[in-house]
Structure 1
Amino acid sequence: MNNVAQSYAILEISPTASPELTKQAYRKLAKIWHPDRYVNDPILKAKAEAKIKTINLAYAAIKADLAKKDSNAVKLNTVTNSAPHTSQTRVENTQQTPEFYYQQGMSYLNSEDYDAALDSFSRVIKLDLNYIEAYQCRGFILSKLGYNLRADAEFKKAHQIKLKNRTTTSYNKKYTPEGYSDRGYTVKATANNQSSTPLKFWHTIIGFERAIQFLAVSCDGQIASASNDKEINLWQVNTGKRISVLKGHTDNVTCLAMSVSGRTLISGSKDKTIRFWDLQERKIIRTFGGYFDGHLSEVVALALTPDNQTLISCGGDNSLKIWDVNRGMEIQNISVFAAVTCLALSPDGRLFCTGGLEPELRIRNAKTGQVIRSINNNSGILSLAFSPDGNLLATGGFNRHIKLWDLTTGQEIYTLMGHTDRVSQVIFSQDGKTLISSSWDKTIKLWKLSTGEEITSVEAHAAKINSMALAPNNQTIASGSADNTIKLWQCNL
């Protein structure tokens, strides 16, 4: 029996099984043999660890074989006799297209084979020097591997190509929700000189040894922060003092979300679990995942509906999950084609949108996961936000641009240009008139949405800004940075 046949046998399926059936078999076995299920039985846990390793290797071998077959099917275009009277054959190779290597690279990226993905995207660029998405994907992988300078160079190149290819005309036309031209337009950063300062620094929270990665603010003035560790720190907005440390995750915290009431904090982690915290008692009140259900990799993003009934989660396993909070059950599992980096929920809790490396933005029903609308964004996304009335969507991404979309038509309204590095966060003010953005370029910017003009720009930190949150009073902004600080800002909106 060859290695691939053995791999199918390990997954307990036929070698003729479809890729979808293979994936389902892998996920089923991965759940059964997940070591976290046997934490109280050392013997079974050791057996599960060996078993899951074998299952992962088998699945990887099958995917590699399928990718190889797909590649060979394209390479061997025709096999014909060189002459009617001879038995010699001739193999005609066709030059692969950039799109072929791009799709191949995306396949490797989804399976987290980063070396192979980088090779494929490099082949794309060799064939087409202006293939923007290939530069963005290379930048994403290099960033994930910790090569930030090289990643920035890739994103900068993609940005330069996009500027060179830009044909959209700049307008000074005002935006009105009732009607506007269906041609998107670009507004360059030109800060207004105002007598009053719309964004004023007033406090720094120091005392960290690691970069601040994630922030969430409650309605009663508590700030939750997470760095590259297992703990969550709680701070008081008014004083900037730490009031508690939440412990429970067994690996680094990777995302935070706050309930509308501000009484519950939800956290996701590399330990594959989602934990709910009572902020009054400061203790875990429930845990999703990690045993019989949940994500097979780190939890990337979270959002809780306003009625506290439904939780949306995104994972590094390229899946979206919808949970019934009361029953503690996963009710929908949706596979996606590319890495997800961010998630936003509409104010009424009926819709959600995810962003990442997939060129399409998908607006989905929050109960069923059904796609309501797709928007062709054509760029990697790091942050998303719905406007308070639910009619607009703002996106910020790797290419340093912010885009504003009309959700009723799917048309782009603005491209806001001004940041010089990737946009890490976008937030609407509560009245929907102002957009707030933060970036790896260390700045926070305020934008006037009626015109698309930049109101102000503040160099807020000494290093990149990873996260930002607006307090419910609409007057305080918290920003978290790689300079190991949280800063609080007085915001006059």
Structure 2
Amino acid sequence: MGAGNSKKSALRATHDDHENAINCMVLSEDSSLLVTGSDDKTARMWCTQTEDMQCLGVFKGHKGYVSCVAINDTFVLTGSEDCTVRKWDMTTCDCVFVYEGHEKKISRIICTGEFVFSSSLDKTVKAWFFDLPDLMTGTDACIKTFTGHTKGVTPIIFIPGTDFSESKIHPDDVLLTGSHDRTARSWSFDTGDCLKIFKGHTDAITCMVTDVSGNFLYTGSNDGTIRSWDTRTGKVIKVLEGHTNGVMCMAVVNRLLYSGSRDGTARCWVREMGDSTRTYKSKFKESIVCLKFFGGYLFTGSSDTTAAVYDSKSGARLKVYEGHTGTISCLTVIDTRLITGSSDNTLRVWDVDEFFNKTEGDEDADEGEEEDEEEDKRERNLEELDKRLDSYIDDDPDMASSPAEIRRKDVDLDSIEDQLG
């Protein structure tokens, strides 16, 4: 029986400790701890080392809902509707510092280890010291305020420079920001100056990702498109079209880009080509709010209250996880567990080991099938290449060097197809 038809319940545990909607979650670097933020104005810390997870502590003190969370070392950072960022000690759950200065809700926070960056609906991004001297106040901790956007700022990305001088702030450290004003911007962390403005979207920028090098920026927008940019020049490289509604989430995985949209689908794109190669359709065709690529599978959370897992290569929906009664706002995968947070106030733990705990015989069979598919694909490619070469030579016999050029292009195509499987 296929995974999609399995009647076995995948639900391991339901945690209803939060008293209101769960908005966000973050894993520690070693995946041993999970922190969730909620509309109940608290964040909670969970131990992922136990099978069904256990709440280890509650961070209480915000006067508005918690909109974003981050972890650094033995501290938790939370951003809130109350316009503040708070720093918490994991061991005691005490608030050790309150960063004050924003005038509207905190949208996102990231931490580099030495610095904290926060974006806000007040149109600014602020940089703060992470390690704070005694007697420093919440406003004193602010190093720089980046101003220039004309509407609220949501996604932010920090790209560390390559100048490893003794200075904490390197001359080529770059901050990337995306805004409801339809633009993205790059900033010098050293000077605070705006370096480039990325213009082209016709609606708010909702999400951003970069490649590993930080040379290429991908922006998703409510206009339904994704744009790729050269971060050094600010020039648009490609416009990725295919979604029919706003893009809500993205992830870069090697040469591929995954996106989720309000149109009820997720898509896989070849980044260099800008082509959409796979479409993953949600069961009830409602918004894909969050996604995670893990172990060759794509996991999604939707406003239709379900999570789903897809074969990333074929696009086939393998299983739907039903049980939440509200939008799934955040998810992650740890080993053989899918963790989902929802607006129904609950955190759920699902068993996904059927996709990862294969027997040796199953693995051998899979390898054999993949080899057969690869051989068939190569044969088809060679046949197509021969046809193209014959046609090309018949059309223009004087162009003796061109077939080699065509073959080189096909080699590049093969490498992309190999990755897609």
Q: So what's the TM-score if we normalise by structure 2?
A: 0.58
Q: Secondary structure at the match of 1:251?
A: coil
Alpha-carbon distance in structure 2 between the residues aligned to 1:455 and 1:269: 38
User: Do structure 1's residue 300 and structure 2's residue 115 form an aligned pair?
Assistant: no
Contact 1:306–1:347 (Cα < 8 Å) also in 2: no
User: Do structure 1's residue 314 and structure 2's residue 186 form an aligned pair?
Assistant: no
Shift of 1:354: 1.2
Change beyond 3 A, Cα 1:406–1:441: same
Unaligned runs of 5+ in 1: 1-189
Query: Map of 1:72-91 to 2, 5 A cutoff?
Result: none
Shift of 1:378: 4.6
Unaligned runs of 5+ in 2: 49-53, 61-85, 87-97, 163-172, 357-421
Change beyond 3 A, Cα 1:319–1:332: same
Shift of 1:251: 2.7
Change beyond 3 A, Cα 1:354–1:377: same
Shift of 1:435: 0.9
Alpha-carbon distance in structure 1 between the residues aligned to 2:179 and 2:121: 10
Match of 1:482 in 2: 343
Match of 1:363 in 2: 228
Q: Secondary structure at the match of 2:122?
A: coil
Out of 318, 341, 355, the position equivalent to 2:206 is 341
Change beyond 3 A, Cα 1:191–1:250: farther
- Sequence identity, in percent? 19
Contact 1:251–1:271 (Cα < 8 Å) also in 2: yes
One-letter code aligned to 1:204: H
Contact 1:271–1:298 (Cα < 8 Å) also in 2: yes
Contact 2:204–2:221 (Cα < 8 Å) also in 1: yes
RMSD: 3.7
Contact 2:223–2:245 (Cα < 8 Å) also in 1: yes
Shift of 1:365: 2.0
Match of 2:321 in 1: 458
User: Do structure 1's residue 269 and structure 2's residue 152 form an aligned pair?
Assistant: no
Change beyond 3 A, Cα 1:460–1:311: farther
Change beyond 3 A, Cα 1:347–1:204: farther
Alpha-carbon distance in structure 1 between the residues aligned to 2:4 and 2:268: 20
Q: Secondary structure at the match of 1:192?
A: helix
One-letter code aligned to 2:153: V
Match of 2:4 in 1: 192
Shift of 1:350: 2.3
Match of 1:253 in 2: 106
Residue-by-residue CA offset, 1:65-106 (whole Å, 9 max, x unaligned): xxxxxxxxxxxxxxxxxxxxxxxxxxxxxxxxxxxxxxxxxx
Residue-by-residue CA offset, 1:143-177 (whole Å, 9 max, x unaligned): xxxxxxxxxxxxxxxxxxxxxxxxxxxxxxxxxxx
Shift of 1:375: 1.7
Alpha-carbon distance in structure 1 between the residues aligned to 2:39 and 2:120: 10
Match of 2:301 in 1: 438
Alpha-carbon distance in structure 2 between the residues aligned to 1:434 and 1:408: 21
Contact 1:302–1:314 (Cα < 8 Å) also in 2: yes
Alpha-carbon distance in structure 2 between the residues aligned to 1:474 and 1:304: 28
User: Do structure 1's residue 417 and structure 2's residue 289 form an aligned pair?
Assistant: no
Residue-by-residue CA offset, 1:312-333 (whole Å, 9 max, x unaligned): 2111222212123354443223
Alpha-carbon distance in structure 2 between the residues aligned to 1:192 and 1:484: 27
Alpha-carbon distance in structure 2 between the residues aligned to 1:265 and 1:243: 22
Alpha-carbon distance in structure 1 between the residues aligned to 2:22 and 2:329: 7
Shift of 1:194: 5.8
As a proportion of its length, which structure holds more helix? 1
Alpha-carbon distance in structure 2 between the residues aligned to 1:317 and 1:277: 24
Query: Map of 1:100-139 to 2, 5 A cutoff?
Result: none
Shift of 1:453: 1.7
Contact 1:216–1:257 (Cα < 8 Å) also in 2: no
Change beyond 3 A, Cα 1:289–1:481: farther
One-letter code aligned to 1:468: L
Change beyond 3 A, Cα 1:242–1:298: farther
Shift of 1:441: 0.8
Give the number of the structure with larger relative contact order, counting CA–CA contacts within 8 Å between residues 6 or more apart: 1
Alpha-carbon distance in structure 1 between the residues aligned to 2:303 and 2:24: 14
Contact 1:273–1:287 (Cα < 8 Å) also in 2: no
Alpha-carbon distance in structure 2 between the residues aligned to 1:457 and 1:346: 30
Change beyond 3 A, Cα 1:455–1:359: closer
Query: Map of 1:100-249 to 2, 5 A cutoff?
Result: 191-193=3-5, 200-202=11-13, 204=15, 206-209=17-20, 211-220=21-30, 221-227=32-38, 233=43, 235-238=45-48, 239-242=54-57, 244=59, 246=86, 247-248=98-99, 249=102
Alpha-carbon distance in structure 1 between the residues aligned to 2:155 and 2:42: 16
One-letter code aligned to 2:309: L
Q: Secondary structure at the match of 2:149?
A: coil
Q: Secondary structure at the match of 1:214?
A: strand
Residue-by-residue CA offset, 1:362-415 (whole Å, 9 max, x unaligned): 1112333321222222522333333431x1111211111111112232222111
Alpha-carbon distance in structure 1 between the residues aligned to 2:322 and 2:115: 32
Shift of 1:424: 0.4
Shift of 1:201: 3.6
Q: So what's the TM-score if we normalise by structure 1?
A: 0.51
Greater Cα shift, 330-339 or 306-315: 306-315
Match of 1:31 in 2: none
One-letter code aligned to 2:203: A
**How many residues matched?**
292
Shift of 1:223: 4.1
Change beyond 3 A, Cα 1:467–1:255: farther
Match of 2:145 in 1: 289
Change beyond 3 A, Cα 1:406–1:488: same
